[in-house]
Every structure is written in structure tokens, then in C-alpha cells.
Amino acid sequence: METIGAPGAGLAIALENLFPPLPSEVILPLAGFTASRGNFSLVEAIIWTTLGSVVGALALYAIGAWLGRDRMRRLVSKVPLVDLEDVDRVEAWFDRHGYRAVFFGRMLPIFRSLISIPAGIERMPVAKFLLLTTAGSLIWNSIFVLAGFYLGENWGVVEEYAGIFQWIVIIAVVLFLGYFVVSKIRAHRRKRAQ
């Protein structure tokens, strides 16, 4: 981080959006720690990493917009246990809650990057998408950069706590998917029995 500086931290965060194995929960506190050592300012760390978040999110938004609603529906129709009524429900939910989903989604592990794709598919107005993405990313990035800044040499502690939060999100997603699959299998069996 000392070598790549604040712009490099921003680039790493942009890449993290596209390649999730690069965890922001490591990059951001490391940027804060590096800022605490005087290599660049705290403000630079927050600005550059937030800019990186927005650039990465915008790339995924563009992929979603390119994919489009029709192409997405064709792809989803080939997924076992998922029917187009499920897609319709998700689209209706996104129509009602999309702005909140983008804002809060920027602060959830796993969803941070992925939320940009449905925003693009649904053609959320770009200005609103950028505003919500910037605001959500600014909050998330500031928390982690500040933690690294104030923890100094102990910045790695942040990764432990972030890891716990990430596991909670993963478990919730797995439970939801399990519920969804079981519900679909039961519905399919009931339909065949009639």
C-alpha cells in the first residue's frame, strides 16, 4: 500500500468489485493504516477508495444494462427450480425497494458488488445509482479506513470482525436459498400429485 498509494488503493477497490476474492475488508483498513503512517492523508484514502468503489460498481451496472431484462429472463428461465414468476416478484420488489437496496447493499459483504447488476438490468437512472452507490460506499469505506487508521499496527483485527459479519451474511443467504429450494420442490411435488 505504501508503494501504490491512495490511487492504488482506489484501483484495488475497483477491482474488488469485479473480482470479489480481493476483499475490501482487508484493503480498506490497510489503506487507513498506511494513511496513519503519513504515506497519504486520511481524506485521500477515503476519497480514492470511494471513487474506486463507484467505478467498479458502474462497470457492473454497465454489464447489467448490457445484459438487459429480456436476456436475463431467457437465462433465468433455464435455471432449475426458478420460474419467470419468481423473476417477476424480484423485479416488483426491486421496483419498490431498488434505491434502498443499492444504498444499503453497498454496505453488505457479497451484495456490495452484485447489487449493481440488477440496478443496470432494471435501468435505474444512472444519476440516482451513482448518488446511492457513492453514499453507501462512502459510509462503508469510511468505517473501515478509519478503523485501520485508528488501530494502526493492529489494523488486521478489523478483518476478524468483518469476517464474522461476512459469515453471518453467508449463513443468511444459504438459509434463504435452502428455504427457496425446499419450497420449490414441495410446490412441484404438490403440482404433480394433483
Q: How many CB atoms lie within 10 A of CB 46?
A: 24
In which residue are the cell numbers 436459498 written? 177
Distance CA 167, CA 181 (A): 21
pLDDT at 9: 84
Name the DSSP class of 48. H
pLDDT at 81: 74
Angle at 52 between CA 104 and CA 63, to 5 degrees: 75
Cell numbers for 153: 499496527
**Distance, C-alpha 5 to centroid of its chain:** 24
| pTM assigned to the model | 0.77
pLDDT at 184: 66
Per-10-residue mean pLDDT, the chain, length 194: 77 82 79 89 93 94 92 84 79 88 87 87 95 96 92 78 72 74 72 78
CB neighbour class for 49 (10 Å; exposed up to 12, middle 13-18, buried from 19): buried
Cell numbers for 21: 476474492
pLDDT at 163: 72
